[in-house]
Amino acid sequence: MLSCKQIVEHGSDYIEKDMGFWRKVEMKLHLMICVHCRRYVRQLKRTINMLSRGRYYAPSEEQVEQLKQQYQEVNGKR
Amino acid sequence: MKDESLPPETELVERLRNNDVALFERVVKTYHSSMYAVAHAIAGPAIADEVLQEAWISAINALDKFEGRSALKSWLIRIVANEAKTRLRKESRSISLDTVDEHWATDSRFTPNGHWVESNPGWDMSSPDELLAADELQDCVKKHMNKLPENQQQILNLRDVGGLEMEAICNILGVTASNARVLLHRARDKMQQVVARFQRTGKC
């Protein structure tokens, strides 16, 4: 039986289905009986989703203006 | 801003070719963050802005050649990754897994036999939209992302924030797929803990 720690160590592999058949079965069995690990996997999924949609490096207004200007210049030459 | 706020791809590209400045601004605001994450991870923070600027110019110039074989975002990410690779940082890029393994070995969340020490409170009822709308949480996530060991930060930025495929990431960073997976998961696990703590205590 896998321990909770092993579940946590392989959380991404489980979510991305990047594991062998038997390991997957072992993880599923553990998750069936362990509410804490089920919660962890759900939270990990939410975290990944959040990271992929967050805007952690939003451009400054100045950068946006500069890019718009460049866009218009190039388009003017098309 | 989410992808959903942009028009369908074919219309989007057509309008961009026809000098729709307002739409271009929305595209910049939507994709800039992911593109920056890729530039930052590959070329380093010192020249990430420069790389991004060049990438946008290349993209604007090449818009007529965009054939729509991939999504616009993937196309933009590829351009920025290529631009960044030509400016690849010079410093050592060796990837060490020692600190990662050490971390798992001494993870205080677990008892010596691998059980949770305390119940992991449920914040998973908060939808991703709610998490994204919480500015303080997003600032906290960004702060802790910057504190990650560099190789973990690189992979998290390339994969989750930038949306690059693992195969491309392994090629760019010169790491094996299994090492990349371990580093990525370690970074995600850390971010999960940051969100969990914030949701539990309201503290960063």
Fold match, B3-86 / B98-201: no
Instruction: Give dist(CA B10, CA B61) in Å, integer.
Output: 18
B33, B116, B188 member nearest A47 (Cβ): B188
Q: Is pLDDT at A78 greater than 80 in this prediction?
A: no
What pLDDT does B113 receive?
A: 87
A26 — contact with chain B (CB < 8 Å)? Answer: no
| A36–B contact, CB cutoff 8 A | yes
Q: Would you list the domain boundaries of chain B?
A: 3-86, 98-201
Cα–Cα distance for residue pair B128/B144, rounded to 1 Å: 18
| ipTM score assigned to the predicted complex | 0.91
**CA–CA distance, A30 with B200 (Å, rounded to integer):** 25
Supply the pLDDT for residue B132: 87
CATH domain B98-201 topology: Arc Repressor Mutant, subunit A (1.10.10)
Q: What Rg do the C-alpha atoms of chain B give, in angstroms?
A: 19
Cβ contacts (< 8 Å) between B160 and chain A: which residues? 48, 51-52
Question: With contacts defined as CB-CB under 8 Å, which chain A residues touch B21?
Answer: 68, 71-72
Per-residue tens of pLDDT for chain B, all 204 residues = 445 578 999 899 999 999 999 999 999 999 999 999 999 999 988 899 999 999 999 999 999 889 888 899 999 999 999 999 888 754 445 455 555 556 677 788 999 889 998 876 776 667 778 888 888 999 999 999 999 999 999 999 999 999 999 999 998 888 999 999 999 999 999 999 999 999 888 899
Q: What is the DSSP letter of A60?
A: P
Contact B43, B51 (CB under 8 A): yes
Report CB contact under 8 Å: A68, B28.
yes
How many domains does the structure of chain A reveal?
1
Q: Which domain holds residue A21?
A: 4-77
Under CATH, to which class is B3-86 assigned?
mainly alpha
The DSSP code for B3 is G
Q: What is the predicted pLDDT for the residue at A1?
A: 85
Q: Which pLDDT score, from 0 to 100, does residue B4 have?
A: 54
Per DSSP, the residues of B58-125 read HHHHHGGG--SSS-HHHHHHHHHHHHHHHT---S------HHHHHHHHT-TTB-TTS-BSS-----TT
User: Closest partner residue to A3 among B113, B123, B145, by Cβ?
Assistant: B113
What confidence tens digit (pLDDT) does each residue in A6-46 have?
Answer: 999 999 999 998 899 999 999 999 999 999 999 999 999 99
